[in-house]
Each structure stands twice: as structure tokens, then as C-alpha cells.
Amino acid sequence: MSHELLLLLAAAISPAMAVGLFIYWRDEHEKEPVRLLLLAFLLGAFSILPALVLSFLMSRTGLDLQSPHLAFAALSWILAVGLPEEFSKFFLVRLFLYPRRAFNEPYDGIVYCAMCGLGFATVENVMYVLEGGFPVALGRAFFSIPGHASWSVLVGYFLGRQKFEGIRGFAWWGLVLAALLHGLFNFFLSQPDGLTGSLVFFLATFLLGLRYALRAMRLHRTGSPFRRLGWKRRGMPE
């Protein structure tokens, strides 16, 4: 394996690791088992496959990412890209991690969903970076990787509230919000440079998702039942 290839792989993988560590260390009261974090990451990597299938099926309904009608193109990005990708990650976390005993406070929803999102983003990042090189790695490190993490954090916030507040179907609101922000992020990014305001709206969408995600993390940390009890638990079984 060449030296340049190793550097490209490091550039593709390291941003997700950095974001994952940030979210993990913000879990103040009980760190999640490493094996479950790894499981969430691998589920995210695998979720690319069902996301591709769902995206293809949605595209067959007449959606058009390149439509000259901007409103329809934006809707297409939301339904054919944002929704399939976010749903695939959400579904696997809901199926394999939501029932675990280690998922015992609302912030855990954020941790597991974020790790799943970063697994997805890492595989996607490797493919793009190996094709586009270091300039692509730099841009995706600052935008795509944090973007995937923030959208997954939002899903995890709603998922945590659903489990511990007993709000039936509440997680679907998080999925809708994540799909909306994800789709609009890609839509504005895909527009020609000459489109007035496309860069501004792209940055606004990205920063909005980031702001919501950080606020969601803060709300679940400060509202943790462990914080109210004033103690930390360690080694919770699965």
C-alpha cells in the first residue's frame, strides 16, 4: 500500500473518529460499552446498502435531483437522498440498540445514533476521498462528517425522549427533521456556483443542523436521570 494511499485513508477516517470521540466524551454520566459503540458504527457502515436500495426505489417514483424546477429538485433531494439515508441508520439503531439494557438514559440515543451516522459517513468519505484526493477530504472533514453526525444526533435526541418519556412515535419527528436538513444540505451543495445565495443557504442549513445538534446534546446531558440522582453508573450490562 503506497504512502499516499495511507495518507488519504487517514484523511478520510480521522474526522469521523474525532467527532465520535467528542460526542462520546460528552457522555458525562455513563460511558457506553465499547462493543456496542463498535456495533453502532458497523451498523452505520452497513446502512449504506439499504439506503442505496431505498434511494433507487424513491428515484423511480419520478423524483429528479437535476430538475430545473428548484422546489421540486429540493424535494427530490429530501425524499430520494436525505430520507433513505437517515431512515436506514435510524431503523438499524431502533432494531439492534434501542432494546439494549445499556440504553438506559436519553443521551444514549444520541451516542448510538451518532456512532451509526459516523459509520455511514466514514464509508462514504473513503469512497469520495479516494476518488477526489485531499481537497475533497478537507471539504468533507469540515462539512459532510459533522453534518452526518449532527443529523444523527437529532434522531437520537428524539429517540431518547421516546424511550424514556413514553412518547409513542416521537422518534419519527427526529427522522423527518434529519431528512429535511440532510436533503437541503445536499441540494444547496449541488447547485451551480452562479446560483445566487446557494452558498449562503448551504452554510445556513449546515449551521442550523449543528446548532440543533449541540443543543440536543446539552438538553439530554443536563436532563439526565443520573445527573438528577447525583451519581454515576459504570459497567451497565447490555
Ordered by start, the domain boundaries in the chain are 32-223
The phi, psi pair for 43, rounded to 5°, reads -60, -40
pLDDT at 79 (0 to 100): 98
Task: Check if the beta carbon of residue 115 is closer than 8 Å to that of residue 143.
Answer: no
Integer Cα distance of 6 and 16 in angstroms: 16
Q: Which amino acid is at 73?
A: A
Integer Cα distance of 11 and 125 in angstroms: 9
Residue 69: its H or E element: none
Nearest to 182 by CA among 59, 82, 115: 82
pLDDT at 70 (0 to 100): 92
Task: Check if the beta carbon of residue 129 is closer than 8 Å to that of residue 137.
Answer: yes
Integer Cα distance of 138 and 84 in angstroms: 26
Ranges of residues in the chain with a pLDDT under 50 are: 194, 231-238
The phi, psi pair for 74, rounded to 5°, reads -65, -45
Integer Cα distance of 102 and 95 in angstroms: 14
pLDDT at 233 (0 to 100): 45
Task: Check if the beta carbon of residue 103 is closer than 8 Å to that of residue 109.
Answer: yes
pLDDT at 5 (0 to 100): 87
Query: Whole-number mean pLDDT of the chain?
Result: 91
